[in-house]
Structure 1
Amino acid sequence: MPDVLPATTVEVARTARLMRVDADALEYLARFDASEIRSLRLAVHTRIRADNAHRFKRLAMLGGLLPRKMTAVLAQRSMSPRLAAGVVEALPPEQAADVAGRMAPAYLAKTCEYLPAGVATPIVVHLSDEKLLAVCDVMVEQEARSAMAEMIESLSDEQLVTFMERIDDPGTLLDISAVVTADGQLERVATLVPDDLLSRIIRHAVDSVAHWDLALALLALLPASERKRLLAVVAASGRPPEA
């Protein structure tokens, strides 16, 4: 199991996915800060949307004339998740949330991968717990760690707790945390993770050399206030931090 991936590596991979190229083709971007690459990714997203705005708006207008269930069915049958993301973005937030909530979990999970957090948030926060958990299950099954890390940005605090409890597997939660790059999100995860789940994560790390190293690497990225809480759980686990 690798240590925490450099944020630059994660952002390069996400930019490559957006541009439909191999990450190696954008390797030169790694010399920039992660925040700069993230800004570039969002700018590329904006440009793609602008270049196709007329297409997305026409499809969104069509969606506005149809029952929302039919719009969701039409999207899944005739659009790629990437195109569907553009259409969803062109809809009013309430309608977009309703249409997204009617999509099959697997299709919605892929669509969310093409929605930046600022766009996805007003949609995701209106999803039912049942739909959110179904999307979570799909992402876990597909081992979509980076996608889950990005989705964390769009979840409310309550949804994030539900999301973590659904994933439940300590190793998977550590792996997802390793690719969280947005400012403040790793701290939010550490703050909101329930004590019982945190205890199981620590116990898992104690029994896994690779995940123990990863847990320590993540710990080093947190502010002192959160390290104090986590170190208290570490001490209770019987494994010294310097191990």
Structure 2
Amino acid sequence: MTPQEAEIRKLARVLGVGAERLGYLADVPVEDLRELRERATTVLFDAHLGVLERMAGASKLLPIPVLAKMAERVFGPLLAARIAGLVEPSRGAEIAGRLSPAFLADVAAELDPRRAHGIIAKLPAGVVVAVARELSRRRDWITIARFVDHLPDATIVTSLEFIPDAALPEVAALLDDPARITKVRDLLPPERLAALPDHLR
């Protein structure tokens, strides 16, 4: 997978379209594709920001168990992802801890990790690993790659156990920061390093 192909796949995810519809962008420099993706993310997440801020503020009045049920049954993953970055991190992490791994995986696919970094940092490792297992089952390597920059090493190590060797090159290609490839590689046990292509060792 070329860097352009990786960026197009990530942009397609943000826009909710198939990557094949963006094939005409194949000759655009990677830096420009990344900037386009980041701008699109900003526009989408800031749309209706006032309403989302009011919803996040109102959520402080509700007990966490009620909010967790509302998130899954009323809000849905897209709205939950939009609000996540506006909720106080400790409270957001506590809510997330009451959600099912399947729903959290849906939210993760819609989430901009940069906006919810505070919540992600406070999530118990067990919750993150359960979500990683679910995302791996779905073969959602885009979402897995987007969270590498926001997780502690110990959690990454445990999560890597659920990513098959054959998927590691794809995850590496989809990382936002190519320098993180070295980080992930250093966290792999020797027997898994041997399974990597030469350019990733």
Give the TM-score taking structure 1 as reference length.
Answer: 0.75
Q: CA deviation at 1:125?
A: 1.8
Match of 1:35 in 2: 31
Match of 1:132 in 2: 128
Task: Determine if contact 2:93/2:119 at 8 Å carries over to the other structure.
Answer: yes
Match of 1:17 in 2: 13
Task: Determine if contact 2:7/2:174 at 8 Å carries over to the other structure.
Answer: no
Return the alpha-carbon distance in structure 2 between the equivalents of residues 178 and 41 of structure 1: 16
Identical columns (%): 26
Match of 1:200 in 2: 192
Match of 1:99 in 2: 95
Alignment equivalent of 1:184, drawn from 179, 182, 188: 179
SS in 1 for 2:122: coil
> Which runs of 4 or more aligned residues in structure 1 lie more than 4 Å from their structure 2 counterparts after TM superposition?
none
Return the alpha-carbon distance in structure 1 between the equivalents of residues 58 and 33 of structure 2: 35
Alignment equivalent of 1:58, drawn from 54, 57, 63: 54
Return the alpha-carbon distance in structure 2 between the equivalents of residues 191 and 148 of structure 1: 17
- Corresponding residue pairs, total: 201
Give the TM-score taking structure 2 as reference length.
Answer: 0.89
AA aligned opposite 1:39: E
SS in 2 for 1:189: helix
AA aligned opposite 1:157: D
Task: Determine if contact 1:105/1:131 at 8 Å carries over to the other structure.
Answer: yes
Structure 1 unpaired stretches of 5+: 206-211, 220-243
User: Once the two structures are superposed, what CA deviation does each residue of 1:168-191 show, in whole Å capped at 9, x if it has no partner?
Assistant: 633333442243242321111112
Structure 2 unpaired stretches of 5+: none
Change (3 A) 1:188 1:120: farther
Alignment equivalent of 2:167, drawn from 164, 169, 172: 172
Q: Which has the larger radius of gyration?
A: 1
Match of 2:200 in 1: 218
Return the alpha-carbon distance in structure 2 between the equivalents of residues 135 and 64 of structure 1: 25
Return the alpha-carbon distance in structure 2 between the equivalents of residues 120 and 54 of structure 1: 17
SS in 2 for 1:146: helix
1:78 matched to 2:70: no
User: Once the two structures are superposed, what CA deviation does each residue of 1:136-176 show, in whole Å capped at 9, x if it has no partner?
Assistant: 11011111112111121221222212222x32633333442
